[in-house]
Amino acid sequence: MLTVEKIGGTSMLAFGEVLRNIVFHGPAVYNRVYVVSAYAGVTNWLLEDKRTGAPGVYHHITQGQDFAPALAEVLAKLQELNRRYVPLGLDLAVADDFIAGRVERARVYLESLVNVLASGYVEARAVLQAAREILASLGEAHSAFNSVNILQSRGVHATLIDLSGFDDARALTIDERIRQAFAGVDFSQTVCVATGYAKGTEGIMREFDRGYSEVTFSKIAVAVRPQEAIIHKEYHLCSADPALVGVARCHPVGATNYDVADQLADVGMEAIHPKASKPLEVNGINLRIKNTFEPAHPGTLITRDYVAARQHVEIITGTDKVVIIDVFDPLMVGTAGFDLHLMQVFLELNISYIFKATSANSISLVIWERDLRPALVPTLEARYERITVEPAALVCLIGSNMDQRGLLARAAGALAGAGISIESGGFALRKVNLQFVVGRAEFGAAVVALNEALG
């Protein structure tokens, strides 16, 4: 059975566990394609810290500063990382030479881009986007090369599928590059390790930015048509966050569908990037989410048509990193297209909402706090009578089959019993996601209350 398997950065950092719990776990070594992320933290060094925004090498380029010392510092860190994997079989000299050569070629490319940028003859955005692509590709090339080297040292026939295109000037789309890279591969005779970054004329980071490795994984799966696609994470997809409710009060979700996966991604709990899940769903490729550190556990199987046999809430989740915006205007009632004009403001500022509720004279929307552009509130205030913005949290009950009588009442009662006020709430007709907006400080308590009542 051919599988395409994505290994995240945290798992890659613990590569000994990857060997023990993934590569050599079970009877089959071959008929497996691994799509690897950079080791945890590496892409932060190259671009910027995903959580804190702390600058990486890319920042020096955007500021017109000499980036070479920062890039050299990253190279030193990558070679230091290499030493960590020598006990696993990594040939240190070969690995150090590979990444040093790759970083040096990247430096030359980046120097050329910086010179072009300084000339003022081209749009800065396009040049900086190219710089991000070059820098991002280094992390996955590093981890993929090391993985192949270690596997080969252990007697496994392993093939590096380097999709970064560093030595290939052809104008290929990402899909074309992937199809050509895998053409003629006999999966029964070799283990393929592919870079999570893939070069293409469309620019994989232009649309997906830091979610690109899962997109590459998805595109590879569509190209080679495995019996199953697998994502290895450092945790299970659970019925609630163990850090909030306690390990004993939650459990791994055994099965669900792609619709539920989309609902999770919408509130930041990504089983898979939504742009990566769609091709899998459309092509009928099943996805399994597994915990790297519990290899015997079957994980969560996500399919297109799964519906739980009994009515119940599968997952209780949400986020406290949102704001609720209320737009009030007495001219709204009965006015056709009023909502359309409001949405045009959000479209112009490239802001997507994750919750919406309406009444006769007001529309309330929840957006990510990071998307609260400086221009948004002044633009809305210039068009509508009153705009209110408050920090908030969104708590969700999600499931493939939870259209049960009284669920809304039980959920609201659980929140009221915990002394939590509901600021807004709602659900679509299909009832796969029941949402409550609560005060930001009450997020954790709300999840616990709902989990105790419905989990």
Which of 208, 234, 260 finishes a domain?
Answer: 234
In a domain, 168, yes or no: yes
Q: Give a yes or no: residue 259 inside a domain.
A: no
Looking at the domain assignment, is residue 429 inside a domain?
A: yes
249 falls within a domain: no
Q: In DSSP terms, which residues pair with 437 in a beta bridge? A: 394, 424
Q: What is the pTM of this model?
A: 0.90
Q: Which of 234, 250, 269 is the last residue of a domain?
A: 234
pLDDT of the chain, 455 residues: tens digit per residue: 899 999 999 999 999 999 999 999 988 899 999 999 999 999 999 999 988 889 999 999 999 899 999 999 999 999 999 999 999 999 999 999 999 999 999 999 999 999 988 887 778 888 999 999 999 999 999 999 999 999 999 999 999 999 999 888 889 999 999 999 999 999 999 999 999 999 999 988 887 888 899 999 999 999 999 999 999 998 899 999 999 999 999 999 999 999 999 999 888 887 888 888 999 999 999 999 999 999 999 999 999 999 999 999 999 999 999 999 999 999 999 899 889 999 999 999 999 999 999 999 999 999 999 999 999 999 999 999 999 999 999 999 999 999 989 999 999 999 999 999 999 999 989 899 999 999 999 999 999 999 999 97
Give domain status of residue 297, yes or no. Answer: no
Is residue 120, in this structure, part of any structural domain at all? yes
Same domain flag for 224 and 373: no
In this structure, the strands spanning 255-257 and 315-328 are unpaired
Q: How many domains, the chain?
A: 2
Claim to verify: residue 61 and residue 194 sit in the same structural domain: yes
The domain in which residue 438 lies consists of 315-454
Based on the fold, state whether residues 150 and 41 are members of the same structural domain. Answer: yes
CATH of the domain at 208: 3.40.1160.10
The enclosing domain of 446 has a CATH number of: 3.30.2130.10
* Residues 328 and 225 both lie in one domain: no
Over residues 201-225, the pLDDT tens digits come to: 998 888 788 889 999 999 999 999 9
